[in-house]
Structure 1
Amino acid sequence: MHRPLSRTTCATLLSAALLVLGTIPATAAQTAAPTTAAISSGTLSVTVDTAFPQVRQYRLGRGTLPGNTGATPRVSINGTAYTPKVTSTVAADHVDYVLGFPAIGVTLNVRLSVSGSVLDWKVTGVTESGATKVSALAIPGLNLLSIRGDQAGAQLAAASVYKTYYAPGPAMDTIGAVSSLPVDSAPRHKVIALVAGSTIAAGVTSNSLTSFSDPVDPNRGGNLLVRTTAAGGVNTTSVASDQWTYRGPDGQVVALPEAKVVVTGDANGAGGVDWQDAAIAYRQIRPEPEQAAQTKNNVVSQIAMNFVSQAQNPFVKTLDDIKKMALYTDGLGQSIELKGYQDEGHDAGHPDYAGHYNTAAGGLADINTVVDGAAAYNAIVGVHISDVGQAPRSQAFRWEKTDNPTSPEAPYIYGDTAYSLDTGKDLASGDYAKRIDALVHDVPHLGFVYSDAFFQDDSVDWNAWKEADVVAQHGLPIYTEFPTYMFPYTSWYHDSNEFEDVGINSQILRFVYNQDMDAWINNSEPMLGGEQNKASFMGWHSNNSVNEEISEVFTNNLPTKYLQNFRITSWKPGDIRFTGGVSTKMNGSSPQIWRDGALERDGDKFFLPWSPQGQEKIYAWNDAVESRTWTLPKAWSGQTSVTLHKLSDTGKDAGTPITVSGGKVTLHLDANTPYVIYPGTPVSVPTTGDLSDGSNTGAPVRRTDTAASVGFGTGTIVRNGEFFTRDLSSWTRPPPPATLPASRW
């Protein structure tokens, strides 16, 4: 097979031939080669530069957006700028470039390709034939996307992440007309950037690992560089990628540098184009946390606490508590964190992740008992680790890994003295990965890893990515404490779930990621809410009220999770629309949920199908004793009778038949009490998307559990030792001794 000639080679041969024929003058031969080419997917057309891997223009339908409007940039390798020798080969939907850097013996292969509505800019190969090993790659001035302020409807919507510590942080969004944006003296760091005109919109993403590096505010950050400049009285806003980390401090290749641009028109059918259309399209290319699909099903979130050698919550007791919660909620999804699974309990023995288990609470065998047993009740169980401190009593402790080995200081004493761990050194050494590997080997069905207090000065960039990636390599999600560290690799922030006013303070990011993570300020948008776990009865902060936990789950978490099963398509003040015919609105101070024209929530009164897609059953709750009529979902049309079950910690009661009249049911409920409604004939609606059936473990949504069937006391020597069945059914007396009359036994 003949190797295709590069565009540069073809142009040279053509020019030479025309010179021989005398068709063009010799002075013009050197400039005759075209410098642009058009590639197309059939949907999106992109004009690219053939002399350097950069986009000049995007065209979708009648709409256009500029790419890089500036000069051809240089390439920075390991902090030094070079001008490469470039050749290119053009195909219908892509252009391949070879960038040579002979002075350092490095060659980069880059491909610009288009598929559907996405332009992919990717380094496809790095060749190092000399002593130089590529660690960092940057192309300052390579604007992937631009928009001029004089373009009709020109708009920017961009958000940065912000370091928080028990506080919400300032607003993270910039949303405004390009013509009105202030001119930037230097690029601003953003984690998401969307632009829109009147007929076309686009978004950019990159796999750069940069997090907090904004030149104006070092607490802000993101891996995109957004800058507004002005020339001739017209503003232009451009978006570029920040520096890529090709090889990390451990000497291992991270990933081939890549950026993507997605282009769209009217994505939500609203009859116009703005940043929200770009946000919808951006979901196609968004960086997604590992196992993000679990988020929407984790309705119950609790922390089982063991502390200072007391074993307040033995692991087998936690399994009983999971069963109790499954009965009380008819199997709603649970996410349970074992805090203090190691050594003597919480914050003892860090950073031992395996081989140093809390024997007083049951040890490794009982950890596996609760992790494995929880799956049948739609519960995932994870553990609390730390990679920022190390205790001298831990097996992993090394003086040389403290932040200041010559004069180490103990930063905190919380049950056990701990010294600051040099996280970067620990990650680069491979020791962190070995400890995670050992943990997953010992607990093969682990549900997640929670990395505590990951907010140090070095909890950024490659360190944050590596901390999460090691866990993700096992197919596990990683959670952490403080927003917005480890974004976008994590799907759960502890502070967002414990405090109502702490979390990611961004409408743009919530629009895109609402379904993917529990990271939001709970009280910032009552229509959407936000998961909370502060009421837990498993010992965190000494909380022990089942009633408070049930109230939080049903009045706060369940409506939040219901909406997370759908994706936001439009967000206006007082009115948010979703896929699936779902919307949420404000009725005075009360949030409402509507679906297909029927009211499903009115403040703390609701009638919510679950799973939200499958609609196999319906949860009902009322904040007052009253009769209320609800419209059955469309999927329940044809039902003539349903059964209303009252829920308690022993499960569903026998149920009360309710007659359906005109597609509606009238319910008389006790106040602040959960109910579940089952149809007269089974309802089964096809679901789409990962884990959209309401279960993260494969456990059925329609439950047949009873207090007798769940088997309280698994892993102990006594069945039903806590009398969770509310009776003595598991307890029998042996026959009386022969020397004792039966009447006295």
Structure 2
Amino acid sequence: MNKILTIGTFCLISVTSFASPQLEKGINDSSCTWYLKSGQDSLAWVDGFSAVNSTVEFDLLPQNSSAQVGVLLRYVNENDWIYVGCDKATDHLGFAYWYVETPNGKTEIARDIAKLYAHHLRHIKVNCIERTLTVYVDGEQITHKYIPDLPLSPGRTGFRVHDQGNVQISNVICRALKEQKREIVKKKSGYTLSSSRMEVVLNKDFPSVQSYLWKETQSRLDGQPFDVKDILINGDRYQPQVTSKAEADRILYTLKVKEIGVTMQVCCQVTDNLFQLSVTEIEEKGNFKVKTLAFPDHNLVSLSDTVPGSCLSVADNVHADRFYPLKEKAVDNTSQYGSIVLLNSDKLVATLESNSIYATRQFLYRSVQTPGSVVTGIWGNEWMYRGHDGELVGLPYIKVILSDDCNRDNKVDWQDGAVALQRVYPAPFGVDRIQNSYATITMNFASCAQYPFLRQLDNIKKFYLATDGFGQMLELKGYQSEGHDSAHPDYSGNYNERAGGKDDLAFLAKEARKYNAHIGVHINHSESYPEARAFNDRIVTDMPAWSWLDQSYFLNKEADMLAGSFEERLNRLKVDVPDLSFVYLDTYREYRWLAHQTARLFNQNGWAVWTEDADVFDKEAVWIHYNPEAKSLIHRLVHHQYRDGYAMHPALLGGYNRGAEIGFMGWQKGRDFKGVIHNFFTKQLPYRYLMHYPVLQLDTARAVLESGLLAVGDGKNGTVIQRGEQTLMTGDCVFIPWNPETEEKIYHYNVQGGKTTWQLPESWKGQETVYLYALSDLGRKLAGTLPVRNGRIEIDALPDQGYVVYKREMAPLPEMIWSEGSPVKDTGFDSQLFDYWQKKQGATDALAVRETAYGQDYLEIKGKDAAGVSQVVNGLISGKEYVASVWVNVIGRKEATLAIQSGEELKKQTSIQESRVMNYTDNTDRFRTTWQRLKIPFRMPAGQKEIVLSLNGGVASEDTAAVCFDDVRLVECLQTQKAGYAYFEDFEHVDEGWGPFIACQPSAFTTHLSQKHDVYTDNTIHGNWSLATWRERNGEVYRTSPAMIRFAPGQVYEVEFDYKVDTRDVYKVVGRSLSTGEEVFSYDLNRPGTCNVRFTTPDCTDFYIAVVKEGNGLLVIDDFGIKGELIK
């Protein structure tokens, strides 16, 4: 049991009266400020106030970020009290934890994203009525909960600070509240509104419904059975003066709250099967401002458990459903949250739609004992009328949607209500693209530029050709700074230069649209990394968050939003990259005004919302990354067409893996182009087709959709999709018309291969012949002309081969231009021809474009004889400095050479004869291969504009020897060579990667080129850039690349570099040989300084220098240089 100690010095607040009909007595003092700091447990009392039911609100200014502060209520003695407070500042996901505590124990009541940041003012409000607690932070309700063991004796009110808590409290208001009694009211004469389908009777003395009548069947539902005439404004209950009048098609109410000078106009209307209550005007006289508004206990629809077939159905967030036959439902001690709520009898069902921005807590329900029955009601949660910025969010409305059996299953249940709701639900921005696109993710990370923006454009073209132009949506992780999770929250002005920078990114986004592809970027507005240009004390807190390349800290999103800096950075991104189509917002767990405002900013820039968690952006997100727990059938039936964000369903599909198999450009090491095509045909294509049709009926393994579609899933046959006699999918075999509206072509894919017979769509009636095309990454090729017999065709398919069927013979596709935007063309040999690359004289038969097992193209030069290719690269600027590079793999022993020439003034080449060192660059198709990178830095001679770039394979002693080339790249890049050194790197201008170093083992990839940022970083030494590593695995961390630095046997060298460490006895630099096993030198890096080692290499050609780690700590190096003669 906690012992409560009283602080010795504090200011007393005198008792004042408070004029509200709902309040008995109160204290209101804005003149006093308390400073509470505790090493154990401390308390400050509000003098002269004692109550059972009360509200306490105050301004809270934390002096640190430990939280551990709250309100004491009903304090009688050390054995009889209630504490409500925030006792855990944050978890790793960014949630603060709120608890209620009594002498009998402690209970969590909320996990909320609104944290108590140091020096950020919060306004806290705690309402306690009987055993129900409601907590507000900055005017937003974060929890409303019944706690069964709360003591009920009247007692004192105070504030408690414990452990590391340190706060400033001011503007304290305490008020005693009356318990709200529910009384059944007899129905009086009221107003009647009518449409062609239903009739609604409303009360005259308050905007509430008495009853609903469904005209066709004369079925009825009740409205408000209780005498409740209150409203909640800013969390306080008021009883307004109400006047009303009827007009031709609506009822108008005027609600006046004299105590605060607020007058509201409310309009009620009926259209078709929909009743709508709208607040059309709020007038504020004086200084009082309305932030939130609610109609508490406002049963818009209610049902007694005596009504035949009565049932309550609730989507609990997006994760699960609750179905309550009212005969079996227990009484609720307080109202409960619901994302979607539905009440039905055996004749009629009702549900709600609202513009409340409380996301998955938009609605409330409660079952109450009345004489003779239990009555269950549903109504809307609070609306936020005014945001934290003082601007209006929007005038509130709520709709009641009624339906009978509208899904044609000969009964009325929740599904009819969900279908009716689906038909009026507002579609999120950008949903049309996700319905028609393959969703995928690309990855650049840790300075390595694994997939430069222009290479991604070529890969978009490959997918475009292999799917006959199907849409694509690509989420780019790592478009900023050093790649994924770098430079948050810059968003703009700090683009990934190693991947191509702003110009290449903008070019990618623009050109991708020509190939029905749409680019989006991954951002984060929860955490900030110190190297980000936007990292500053105004918006960044002292709470540590995710750590990867650097330690990040939680952002104060509200401060960023209110300052306008968040919007400013987003708008700069729009200007810089105007053709972006969506933004993926990572690790985001806001649920109210901040989320609403963020989605508004995205949409006004033309961006659809993608995000990580399924319960965020409930109305706005069209794609969710983490979806396995999103299993609510109610939510899915309503939102099926609008979001790709649910767990796998045997009939409706979705839930496809968001890991490696989603893409072939690095995310989670994904590299398998063939696997992506397989997943397109068997997973995303049929799912996208189904997304075009509303769901009518749904259970755990079966779905009936509009347009006569039936989807069934079972363990034996997989998913079967049919429309009448036409089968569209059976297991991994598909025959899907596209698009669903025009059906101009039909996709076919058969994992097993073989002959299958298919019914053509009705729109193809009259076809006597159809044309079958085989698809590949070179496009479509006529595979045969198929006769139509009785509206059916037979296809003899190859296994795992994509096809498309057309009504007529199609013209050849325009010739693809590869590597647009790059000085070098066909950089990845994706044309599979030698139109861009010229074969040199020699063994031209040894030249071929090959394909890896996972579908990546490369150039192979094989055999004993020498051969090569070259390309004239023009458009270069004399006097500019560039880097030419290519990825190389040597099989056996054969020299692979990269060479450039411009006239007689520029002749350079570099080569390797073998590649035995494993490539551990993560997030690339070369991971765990022996591909290495050759590069040549050069300056264009005066008067020259072009070079000849050559890739050569030398002579070899074995026919099986081969050299392989891929991903040629030429970028503008300043030189870093320094006089007196055979090799020098200051890390100021690295084209890609870690300068001369490569990873030695599969790593945590917490090594990167670190950028200086004023006082916020300490991981650079000279200039603006250094190489930093931390938290990698023990052992060799990185080593010199054998393709960039080759030591000659038996030669004397000197290596030097500046470094700093934060821990002794963790790092050392060594010189080793793999073939001899020798360690020539070892130098401990124990204190900041300069490492200088002179050594003689052993008799080997595989000597290298490596950094070795044992323990934990940071190492930064800079100005790495080697003296001595290296092998060219």
Q: Please, what TM-score do these two structures have when normalized by structure 2?
A: 0.56
- CA 1:81–1:329 in 2, change beyond 3 Å: closer, same or farther? same
Are residue 648 (structure 1) and residue 756 (structure 2) matched?
Answer: no
Are residue 448 (structure 1) and residue 582 (structure 2) matched?
Answer: yes
SS of structure 1 residue aligned to 2:585 = strand
For residue 299 of structure 2, what is the aligned residue in structure 1? 143
Note the C-alpha offset of 1:109. 0.9
Matched ranges for 1:78-93 at <5 A: 78-93=234-249
For residue 123 of structure 2, what is the aligned residue in structure 1? none
1:256-298 C-alpha deviation (Å, 9 max, x unpaired): 1111111112212222221111111101332532222322112
For residue 786 of structure 2, what is the aligned residue in structure 1? 658
Note the C-alpha offset of 1:492. 1.0
For residue 690 of structure 1, what is the aligned residue in structure 2? none
In the alignment, is the contact (CA less than 8 A) between 1:331 and 1:703 conserved in 2?
Answer: no
For residue 206 of structure 1, what is the aligned residue in structure 2? 354
Q: Give the counterpart of 1:521 among 647, 658, 661.
A: 647
Matched ranges for 1:322-341 at <5 A: 322-341=460-479
SS of structure 2 residue aligned to 1:68 = coil
Percentage of pairs with the same residue = 32
1:370-420 C-alpha deviation (Å, 9 max, x unpaired): 1111112111110111101112222222213233xxxx1432222233211
Structure 1 unaligned blocks of 5 or more: 1-32, 163-170, 212-220, 497-501, 682-701, 740-744
Counterpart CA distance in 2 for 1:340 and 1:596 is 46
Q: C-alpha root-mean-square deviation of aligned residues, in Å?
A: 2.3
In the alignment, is the contact (CA less than 8 A) between 2:349 and 2:417 conserved in 1?
Answer: yes
Q: Which one scores higher on RCO, CA 8 angstroms, separation ≥ 6?
A: 1
Note the C-alpha offset of 1:364. 1.4
Matched ranges for 1:256-271 at <5 A: 256-271=395-410
Counterpart CA distance in 1 for 2:700 and 2:594 is 38
For residue 504 of structure 1, what is the aligned residue in structure 2? 630
Counterpart CA distance in 2 for 1:186 and 1:51 is 25
Q: Give the counterpart of 1:495 among 611, 626, 636.
A: 626
The aligned amino acid for 1:540 is: W
Q: Give the counterpart of 2:593 among 438, 442, 462.
A: 462
For residue 197 of structure 1, what is the aligned residue in structure 2? 345
The aligned amino acid for 1:230 is: Q
1:574-609 C-alpha deviation (Å, 9 max, x unpaired): 431111111112464422110132222111112111
Are residue 731 (structure 1) and residue 859 (structure 2) matched?
Answer: no
Note the C-alpha offset of 1:152. 2.3
In the alignment, is the contact (CA less than 8 A) between 1:156 and 1:195 conserved in 2?
Answer: yes
For residue 48 of structure 2, what is the aligned residue in structure 1? none
For residue 72 of structure 1, what is the aligned residue in structure 2? 228
Q: Give the counterpart of 1:45 among 199, 205, 222.
A: 199
- CA 1:703–1:318 in 2, change beyond 3 Å: closer, same or farther? farther
Are residue 110 (structure 1) and residue 271 (structure 2) matched?
Answer: no
Note the C-alpha offset of 1:34. 7.0
Counterpart CA distance in 2 for 1:703 and 1:174 is 55
More helix by share: 1
Note the C-alpha offset of 1:355. 1.5
In the alignment, is the contact (CA less than 8 A) between 1:74 and 1:84 conserved in 2?
Answer: yes
The aligned amino acid for 2:588 is: F
Are residue 537 (structure 1) and residue 664 (structure 2) matched?
Answer: yes
For residue 126 of structure 1, what is the aligned residue in structure 2? 282
SS of structure 1 residue aligned to 2:300 = strand
- CA 1:348–1:527 in 2, change beyond 3 Å: closer, same or farther? closer
Q: Give the counterpart of 2:208 among 50, 54, 57.
A: 54
In the alignment, is the contact (CA less than 8 A) between 1:68 and 1:144 conserved in 2?
Answer: yes
More strand by share: 2
- CA 1:37–1:738 in 2, change beyond 3 Å: closer, same or farther? closer
Counterpart CA distance in 1 for 2:702 and 2:670 is 36
Are residue 161 (structure 1) and residue 317 (structure 2) matched?
Answer: yes
Structure 2 unaligned blocks of 5 or more: 1-186, 839-869, 873-900, 905-951, 953-1128
SS of structure 1 residue aligned to 2:418 = helix
Counterpart CA distance in 1 for 2:903 and 2:486 is 52
Counterpart CA distance in 1 for 2:779 and 2:404 is 50
Counterpart CA distance in 1 for 2:645 and 2:384 is 26
Matched ranges for 1:236-255 at <5 A: 236-255=375-394
Counterpart CA distance in 1 for 2:188 and 2:335 is 32
For residue 625 of structure 1, what is the aligned residue in structure 2? 753
Counterpart CA distance in 1 for 2:423 and 2:811 is 35
Counterpart CA distance in 2 for 1:659 and 1:734 is 47
- CA 1:527–1:303 in 2, change beyond 3 Å: closer, same or farther? closer
- CA 1:418–1:704 in 2, change beyond 3 Å: closer, same or farther? farther
Deviates more, 1:524-533 or 1:201-210: 524-533
Note the C-alpha offset of 1:533. 4.0
For residue 553 of structure 1, what is the aligned residue in structure 2? 680
SS of structure 1 residue aligned to 2:280 = strand
1:18-54 C-alpha deviation (Å, 9 max, x unpaired): xxxxxxxxxxxxxxx9751101123221111121111
Counterpart CA distance in 2 for 1:42 and 1:679 is 45
Deviates more, 1:68-77 or 1:581-590: 581-590
Counterpart CA distance in 2 for 1:272 and 1:197 is 10
In the alignment, is the contact (CA less than 8 A) between 1:40 and 1:92 conserved in 2?
Answer: no
- CA 1:430–1:361 in 2, change beyond 3 Å: closer, same or farther? same
Matched ranges for 1:215-234 at <5 A: 222-234=361-373
The aligned amino acid for 2:230 is: R
Are residue 712 (structure 1) and residue 818 (structure 2) matched?
Answer: yes
Note the C-alpha offset of 1:312. 1.1
In the alignment, is the contact (CA less than 8 A) between 2:717 and 2:730 conserved in 1?
Answer: no
- CA 1:734–1:724 in 2, change beyond 3 Å: closer, same or farther? closer
| Structure showing greater Rg | 2
Deviates more, 1:631-640 or 1:525-534: 525-534
Counterpart CA distance in 2 for 1:610 and 1:704 is 19
In the alignment, is the contact (CA less than 8 A) between 2:386 and 2:393 conserved in 1?
Answer: yes
The aligned amino acid for 1:481 is: E
The aligned amino acid for 1:201 is: V
Deviates more, 1:244-253 or 1:226-235: 226-235
Note the C-alpha offset of 1:489. 1.9
The aligned amino acid for 1:385 is: I
The aligned amino acid for 2:326 is: V
SS of structure 1 residue aligned to 2:683 = helix
For residue 320 of structure 2, what is the aligned residue in structure 1? 172
For residue 599 of structure 1, what is the aligned residue in structure 2? 727
SS of structure 2 residue aligned to 1:434 = helix
Counterpart CA distance in 2 for 1:182 and 1:578 is 34
Deviates more, 1:570-579 or 1:108-117: 570-579
The aligned amino acid for 1:452 is: D
For residue 395 of structure 1, what is the aligned residue in structure 2? 533
The aligned amino acid for 2:412 is: V
- CA 1:594–1:628 in 2, change beyond 3 Å: closer, same or farther? same
Note the C-alpha offset of 1:675. 0.9
In the alignment, is the contact (CA less than 8 A) between 1:515 and 1:567 conserved in 2?
Answer: yes
The aligned amino acid for 1:48 is: L
SS of structure 1 residue aligned to 2:248 = coil
SS of structure 2 residue aligned to 1:181 = coil
Counterpart CA distance in 2 for 1:193 and 1:120 is 16
The aligned amino acid for 1:223 is: Q
Counterpart CA distance in 2 for 1:738 and 1:197 is 88
Are residue 471 (structure 1) and residue 614 (structure 2) matched?
Answer: no
Counterpart CA distance in 1 for 2:477 and 2:588 is 16
Q: Give the counterpart of 1:421 among 541, 555, 562.
A: 555
Note the C-alpha offset of 1:209. 2.2
Note the C-alpha offset of 1:530. 3.3
In the alignment, is the contact (CA less than 8 A) between 1:39 and 1:92 conserved in 2?
Answer: no
In the alignment, is the contact (CA less than 8 A) between 2:681 and 2:734 conserved in 1?
Answer: no
Q: Give the counterpart of 1:579 among 699, 702, 706.
A: 706
The aligned amino acid for 2:353 is: T
Note the C-alpha offset of 1:526. 4.6
